[in-house]
A and B are shown apart, each in its own frame.
Chain A
Amino acid sequence: MMNFQRVSRVIVSLCLHALSGFTACSIAIADTIYQDPSDFIDEVFLGAPPAVSILNIIGKRRETVSKILDHPPSILRTRYWMKDTRSVWILEEIGKSKPITAGFIVENGQIQDVRILIYRESHGGEVRHDFFTNQFSGATLDSDLDLTQSIDGISGATLSVNAMRRLATLALYFDKEARTQ
């Protein structure tokens, strides 16, 4: 028959042993470059990218971008590549504490492809996988500047997922603005 007093004593001693402590270790994580942004541009335009264009983020546009990002943009202008019905945007947004660099291909006002190019956080990198990024394919913007497609989150990567949602919305907005300027 099991001796419960003995079991209790073992559990207590385990806890006390655990409390005698170690110091936590930290691991330095370098940037993970999944694809060089230059290679992404070359890939999209088959080695012959168009000349880069500039979109100013000032005035009413700045207000809209602030609303999309839920904070003022850190830059006053951004660059993009546009050919016929396609535009490509390389955008950055803080996930948890470090920027995520992502590439967006917008075709006819819809997201065609999303690619995580550089990921700098220690957690949440699941957003780079196709099962997540494929959700954005075909997404457009509605009149409230929301994505027309629901994007499922990833447990443990909420902040990265939210950053990617904001960037996708931004890419679509920028595409619309770039075509009207």
Chain B
Amino acid sequence: MKQVKKSNIVRFSRFHRVIGLLACLPMLSLAFTGILLNHSELLKLDSIHITNPQILNWYGMEPKSEPVAIEFAGNWIATFENLLYVNGKLIDQGASSPTGVGMLDSALVVTTQDSLLLIDQNSNTIIEKLGRENLPRGKIRAMAVRDGRVLLDTITTQYSAPPNISQFIEDNRSPLPLPQTSAVPKDLYQTMVANWRSQGLSLWRFVLDFHNASVLGSSGTVIMDVAALCMFGLVFSGIYLWSQRPR
């Protein structure tokens, strides 16, 4: 009886050691990254973006689409991976393809399918952004500025607005031609890609991916599950070993 009990203790000890070793690396990673994530606001992890090319390559941060661009009076307006760029400078996020460019007073007027932006062409900053609530219903297919008025076409209807773009009213005119899009110059493209890559991965995301081991893809989930099961094993085998220690 004593012999059986001793061999059980030996087996449990071996088991406890093996699963402890198996779980230690994932658990150490979990603990360290957990502390960082708990204080992510203080550490501003979401504001710091990873720019290391090797890490970005590891994440597969390669663009899946080509920019859609319109050239107007020496200005390049392009959308790329839902980001709007003017002359290579990131202007807006969550943007669809550009549908028109014009000049109003000294500001660039740029439309996407669902927004209109007034952009200061010296600083390439947004003066004003009009969303769906300020635009006619329906996706914008084309826009132009003529004689100080902003002409805007949806798929079904033509509209125009005065220079202050206070209100779009239906316009009895023929539809505007669709915008001519073209490829951006290579140097602008490289600037946009570099910017897009730097926007894509925050330090918070990187730490979180280590925390849940998703840096290893689907395998990471399994590894963490196994490590967690090892923790159960550690606890129960530990309790058993503690209960068997000589009094």
Contact = CB atoms under 8 A, between A and B. Distances in A.
Q: By DSSP majority rule, is chain B's interface helix, strand, loop, or mixed?
A: helix
Contact of B131 (A7, A18, A92): A92
Given A22-B217, A24-B217, A99 B130 contact: no
A158 to B, nearest CB: 7
Interface in B198-245: 199-200, 202, 204, 214, 216-219, 222-223, 226, 229-230
A90 interface: yes
A47 interface: no
B199 A74 contact: no
Interface string A13-52: 0110111111111000001000011101100000000011
B218 A22 contact: yes
Q: By DSSP majority rule, is chain A's interface helix, strand, loop, or mixed?
A: mixed
Contacts of A51: 166-167
Contacts of B130: 79
B75 interface: no
B97 to A, nearest CB: 14
A11 B222 CA distance: 11
Contacts of A25: 218
A83 interface: no
A94 B15 contact: no
Contact of B217 (A15, A21, A101): A21
A1 B4 CA distance: 10
Say which size band chain A's interface belongs to.
Answer: 35 or more
A22 B219 contact: yes
B218 A24 contact: yes
Contact of A37 (B129, B131, B202, B219): B131
A75 B11 CA distance: 68
Contact of B127 (A23, A77, A98): A77
11 contacts: A4-B11, A4-B14, A7-B15, A14-B226, A17-B222, A37-B131, A52-B167, A76-B125, A78-B128, A97-B200, A98-B94
Interface of B: 8, 11-12, 14-15, 18-19, 22, 40-41, 46, 82, 92-94, 120, 125-134, 137, 166-167, 199-200, 202, 204, 214, 216-219, 222-223, 226, 229-230
Interface pairs A-B: 4 shortest CB-CB: A37-B133, A18-B222, A24-B217, A4-B15
